[in-house]
Copies of this chain bind each other. A is one copy, B any other.
Amino acid sequence: MSDILAASSAADWRALDPNNTLLMELPKGRVVIELAPDFAPKHAANIRALVREGYFDGAFILRSQDNYVVQWGWPEETPRKVKKAHATEKAEFFRAVSADLPYTPLPDLDTYAATVGFSSGFPAARDAEGKSTWLVHCYAMLGAGRGDTADSGGGTELYAVNGHSPRHLDKNVTLVGRVVQGMELLSVMPRGTGALGFYETAAERTAIKSVRLEADVPAAERANLEALKTERATFVKLIDARRVRRESWFLDPSGHLGVCNMPLPVRKRGG
């Protein structure tokens, strides 16, 4: 796999769009998130608006449930008022397939969907008719928590998957992006002892220093990341290298690959 990446060309990579990139500063370091406007345009726009009005600055990690999700936002007892952004958005659980949305399908069967693969750098699924597509809940995917109704989310509460993919959440929540760097800061958050892994005391919560849009920060503070394009031949070679494990350590080469078992390479711009 490292050989294939080493042989990649500049054209195999895309710079993360600073307008789709969030920089979340935690006490122990930075978490970088890529939004997915191809799948959740309204949520992406609203999260940008929330970030720009400082909604997440001083917010907290509220919940860490083992083998499920880590979630952040404002506690019920000290809510933060939304200013110009929207408190909720219409659900964006799935979208129509269109010719301009790239899709690199995997050859293997999936438990939950007719086909799975990758679109615009994200793990995605499609229905048997190839008409509908949606992002899937792999590790480090970012979702917009919601209440009991479809349109009750919007980005004011965000969660990242910290364990085995909870695929039963697919098409039940709007996935809005992916943690592309710093997931290891979120995954080690102590598990909360309350229901659903919520922290039972304020002292257990980790404060978020700030969340900023990369486009809004000085050049020196940007993450400047690039991601391997998931629609090019280099990525298809990587898929093959992960499907059939040729490293000498593997005594059984597997020959299969799950959509959540495929690394999606991200690196500093220029390699």
Footprint of B on A, CB under 8 Å?
A: 66-67, 93, 108-112, 138-140, 148, 150, 162-168, 170-172, 183-184, 187-191, 242, 245, 248-252, 254, 256-258, 260-261
Contacts and interface: CB of A to CB of B under 8 A. Distances in A.
A106 to B, nearest CB: 8
Contacts of A110: 109, 111
9 contacts: A66-B187, A110-B111, A112-B258, A164-B164, A166-B261, A167-B254, A167-B256, A187-B188, A188-B189
Q: Assembly of this chain: how many copies? A: 2
Given A111-B109, A188-B188, A188-B191, A139 B93 contact: no
A152 to B, nearest CB: 10
Contact of A112 (B150, B183, B254, B260): B254
Contacts of A171: 251-252
A150 B67 contact: no
Contacts of A252: 93, 170-172
Contacts of A242: 168
A18 to B, nearest CB: 25
